[in-house]
Chain A
């Protein structure tokens, strides 16, 4: 058997697609690489084979709003979905798949969710300004952690599994221990927030957080340089913050300053960041090398990108698109 083509982001190309019909809001790739899950504005959650050979609805009703946040358990036996209805649902992925448990996790939107590296704990955050921890096995409540002063947009576990980080509308980051106790204020993704004095509204929030594999740096994605908040005139950006002191190491921005928001970011095992954006400038996949603020490659998408998920082997990225399509892209050269 021939060796697979080497990873080459500059050669990124579409490998498969699945049309759902309603705009998608989230996606996740299971740790075994066999399945991709996606969610849509019709409040549904689905999974399909990574080759997009077959799709199956996860049986509802479970959500009655948009299930924005999707994450698999590390062993791939469960999928967790969090919705704007405040609900957290655990899906058991046997045959047939079924909802294992459901809790109303937040008062208002549940905006972000993250599964601990050992799979025992699910962290969620939401508009009730709290971060909460749940027992992965049965949805038992483990902790409620107040402290943010505005809506909490995103949460991520540190790779060591001993702590987690959350970020709010105003870009403030907080670190919590694995039991939900506050550890420290971890700086601010200041570039991702502004108070618009004309419109008298806060503009910002971390739409996504991801740690670098070694845990020394975290990426917080959103929008920066906003000049007209209600028209989305600003460009997608990723604040890279050093975990040690929370200071901004770099702000990743598109070289051509296209308008939009960074909705997803991931660290690739070969040492670069991948981000997806959507907005007035359309949808884009962008690739950033360490230490460089501008991308080394960008790929225009056929519609606004709203979420991304890297395959476990790092060879593909799945993107949930506003046109109702899930697409996968190979990060390698096409073979004949």
Chain B
């Protein structure tokens, strides 16, 4: 079940201001506005990007990345070869199978939670839950690392269908919090009212900036910083609203991606990545298949496969994949045991995710499960290792720290490290 959907109202404007306020409050609570983190300065503005596809509910590893046909746990689907000799995936992913030479697999996910909310927080934050300190999501960290100072667009965009997290930036502050695009629609209220000219709008913004400057000169707080940033970001969005308009993509591409919600969202993701947005998350729901797991995976992965594969192919063809890390993950996997209702339940003990693109060895497989998929028998890893791996792959020293309010806060779980075998 989606765990983080609790907007007080549905508007993007509300979210922006609320997020800014909360972000500012979090920063204040952490002891002050975040200072420049100890990230490599060669990263910021380097053009590195991350595309995260989150399959909410917990996709079955046996019906996707780690099929076990012919076993008691394997289910009815067969395995098919991929473009990498020796690697097989479920027959439900024929289009993705043809792009496997761009991608890598982690088949040793182990030790994760079996709870949706906790599992999502673990995968988003890279930290065991419950955590002693609220920490930023991967998207916020990537935005912080990769966003050039002058970049006019949000650095952390969540394209939402059902499900999702809030794009938590925690102590990194509102600039790095997720901007939510419901159903790939441009952020709401970014159209200039018909009766307001561009010149009037410019003069109005200038007046607001002068008033803000006078006010903050006397009472500068985290909240006022957050409000000022929200206004500036909103103006940037107004100027670049067309970036968020997926209808401007060619009709043939809409056909190639498919006329489904997920197809449109993947096309939107391509558009944002092409415009340099450092972190784009696309959600796809829903895989919480306690009942009739196989029917639902036919439907859901059938919807996922072609748009995702088309997106990977396009990123490769357009030369973007070298700088774009792609990850496909869930909060956990599903039980190898098939229950009496043809379902699979929650399983964090032995499951898989996909990583590919920037900094990842193409066609690599790390980790292995036993014959029935009930145990990881080679290279067990978890969300903490994945968090480190993604950051390292795009050039961030994940062993570094953020300096916040006089404290050093590790960027990633210091007890974990990257999956070095997967790094290019």
Q: Which residues of A contact B289 (CB under 8 A)?
A: 230
Provided the pairs A232-B341, A303-B340 are in contact, do residues A199 and B299 lie with their beta carbons within 8 angstroms?
no
Query: Which residue of the partner chain, among B72, B294, B340, B341, contacts A22 with CB atoms under 8 Å?
Result: B72
Q: B229 interface residue, CB < 8 Å from A?
A: no
Q: Which residues of B contact A109 (CB under 8 A)?
A: 76, 298
The answer on a CB contact under 8 Å between B340 and A322 is yes
Which has the most chain A C-beta neighbours within 10 Å: B70, B76, B78, B286?
B76
Binary A-proximity of B338-355 (CB < 8 A = 1, otherwise 0): 101101000000000000
Which has the most chain A C-beta neighbours within 10 Å: B70, B77, B286, B295?
B295
Q: A311 interface residue, CB < 8 Å from B?
A: no
Query: Which residue of the partner chain, among A42, A229, A303, A322, contacts B291 with CB atoms under 8 Å?
Result: A229
Q: Which residues of A contact B69 (CB under 8 A)?
A: 64-65
Q: From A108, which residue of chain B is reached at the shortest CB distance?
A: B298
Q: A9 interface residue, CB < 8 Å from B?
A: no
The answer on a CB contact under 8 Å between B341 and A205 is no
The answer on a CB contact under 8 Å between A199 and B341 is no
Q: Which residues of A contact B361 (CB under 8 A)?
A: none
| Tally of B interface residues using CB under 8 Å | 27
Q: From B262, which residue of chain A is reached at the shortest CB distance?
A: A200
Q: B80 interface residue, CB < 8 Å from A?
A: no
Q: B57 interface residue, CB < 8 Å from A?
A: yes
A226 to B88 CA separation, bound complex (whole angstroms)? 35
Query: Which residue of the partner chain, among A201, A279, A304, contacts B296 with CB atoms under 8 Å?
Result: A201
The answer on a CB contact under 8 Å between B340 and A200 is no
A54 to B338 CA separation, bound complex (whole angstroms)? 28
> Closest Cβ of chain A: how far from B288's Cβ, in Å?
5
The answer on a CB contact under 8 Å between B291 and A279 is yes
Q: B290 interface residue, CB < 8 Å from A?
A: yes
> Closest Cβ of chain A: how far from B312's Cβ, in Å?
23
Q: B372 interface residue, CB < 8 Å from A?
A: no
Q: Which residues of B contact A260 (CB under 8 A)?
A: 341
Q: Which residues of B contact A202 (CB under 8 A)?
A: 299
Q: From A233, which residue of chain B is reached at the shortest CB distance?
A: B291
Q: Is the interface of A mostly helix, strand, loop or mixed?
A: loop
The answer on a CB contact under 8 Å between A232 and B291 is yes
Q: A231 interface residue, CB < 8 Å from B?
A: yes
Query: Which residue of the partner chain, among A22, A42, A231, contacts B290 with CB atoms under 8 Å?
Result: A231
> Closest Cβ of chain A: how far from B408's Cβ, in Å?
42
The answer on a CB contact under 8 Å between A201 and B72 is no
> Closest Cβ of chain B: how far from A309's Cβ, in Å?
20
A230 to B290 CA separation, bound complex (whole angstroms)? 5
Q: A190 interface residue, CB < 8 Å from B?
A: no
The answer on a CB contact under 8 Å between A205 and B295 is yes
Q: A175 interface residue, CB < 8 Å from B?
A: no
Q: B188 interface residue, CB < 8 Å from A?
A: no
Q: A134 interface residue, CB < 8 Å from B?
A: no
Q: Which residues of A contact B290 (CB under 8 A)?
A: 230-232
> Closest Cβ of chain B: how far from A282's Cβ, in Å?
9
> Closest Cβ of chain B: how far from A234's Cβ, in Å?
9
Q: A208 interface residue, CB < 8 Å from B?
A: no
Q: Which residues of B contact A304 (CB under 8 A)?
A: 340-341
The answer on a CB contact under 8 Å between B343 and A65 is no
Q: From B299, which residue of chain A is reached at the shortest CB distance?
A: A201
The answer on a CB contact under 8 Å between A43 and B70 is yes
A302 to B76 CA separation, bound complex (whole angstroms)? 24
Q: Which residues of B contact A201 (CB under 8 A)?
A: 286, 296, 299-300
Provided the pairs A84-B76, A205-B295, A232-B291 are in contact, do residues A198 and B162 lie with their beta carbons within 8 angstroms?
yes
Q: Which residues of A contact B299 (CB under 8 A)?
A: 201-202
Q: From A68, which residue of chain B is reached at the shortest CB distance?
A: B76
Instruction: Scan residues 70-112 of chain B and give those whose CB is less than 8 A from a CB of chain A.
Output: 70, 72, 76-78
Q: B161 interface residue, CB < 8 Å from A?
A: yes
Q: Which residues of A contact B78 (CB under 8 A)?
A: 64-65, 85
The answer on a CB contact under 8 Å between A230 and B296 is yes
Q: A312 interface residue, CB < 8 Å from B?
A: no
> Closest Cβ of chain B: how far from A201's Cβ, in Å?
6
Instruction: Scan residues 275-321 of chain B and give those whose CB is less than 8 A from a CB of chain A.
Output: 285-286, 288-292, 294-296, 298-300
> Closest Cβ of chain A: how far from B276's Cβ, in Å?
30
A41 to B291 CA separation, bound complex (whole angstroms)? 16
> Closest Cβ of chain A: how far from B191's Cβ, in Å?
27
A22 to B298 CA separation, bound complex (whole angstroms)? 23
Query: Which residue of the partner chain, among A41, A42, A65, A230, contacts B77 with CB atoms under 8 Å?
Result: A65
Q: A124 interface residue, CB < 8 Å from B?
A: no
The answer on a CB contact under 8 Å between A280 and B341 is yes
Q: B212 interface residue, CB < 8 Å from A?
A: no
Q: A66 interface residue, CB < 8 Å from B?
A: yes
> Closest Cβ of chain B: how far from A214's Cβ, in Å?
33
The answer on a CB contact under 8 Å between B285 and A278 is no
Query: Which residue of the partner chain, among B162, B288, B341, contacts A279 with CB atoms under 8 Å?
Result: B341
Q: B261 interface residue, CB < 8 Å from A?
A: yes
Instruction: Scan residues 320-336 of chain A and give those whose CB is less than 8 A from a CB of chain B.
Output: 322-323
Q: From B69, which residue of chain A is reached at the shortest CB distance?
A: A64
The answer on a CB contact under 8 Å between B285 and A199 is yes
Binary B-proximity of A214-254 (CB < 8 A = 1, otherwise 0): 00000000000000011110000000000000000000000
A322 to B341 CA separation, bound complex (whole angstroms)? 8
Instruction: Scan residues 97-137 of chain A and give those whose CB is less than 8 A from a CB of chain B.
Output: 108-109, 127
Q: A315 interface residue, CB < 8 Å from B?
A: no
Binary B-proximity of A28-46 (CB < 8 A = 1, otherwise 0): 0000000000000111000
The answer on a CB contact under 8 Å between A151 and B298 is yes
Binary A-proximity of B221-246 (CB < 8 A = 1, otherwise 0): 00000000000000000000000000
Q: Which residues of B contact A231 (CB under 8 A)?
A: 290-291
Q: Which residues of A contact B291 (CB under 8 A)?
A: 229-232, 279-280
Known: A198-B286, A261-B292. 7 other contacts (CB 8 A): A22-B72, A109-B76, A199-B285, A201-B286, A201-B299, A230-B57, A279-B341
Instruction: Give 22 pairs: A residue, B residue, CB < 8 Å, sorted on A.
Output: A23-B340, A41-B76, A84-B77, A85-B78, A108-B298, A151-B298, A198-B286, A199-B162, A199-B285, A200-B161, A200-B162, A200-B286, A201-B296, A230-B290, A231-B290, A232-B291, A232-B292, A232-B341, A278-B341, A279-B291, A304-B340, A304-B341
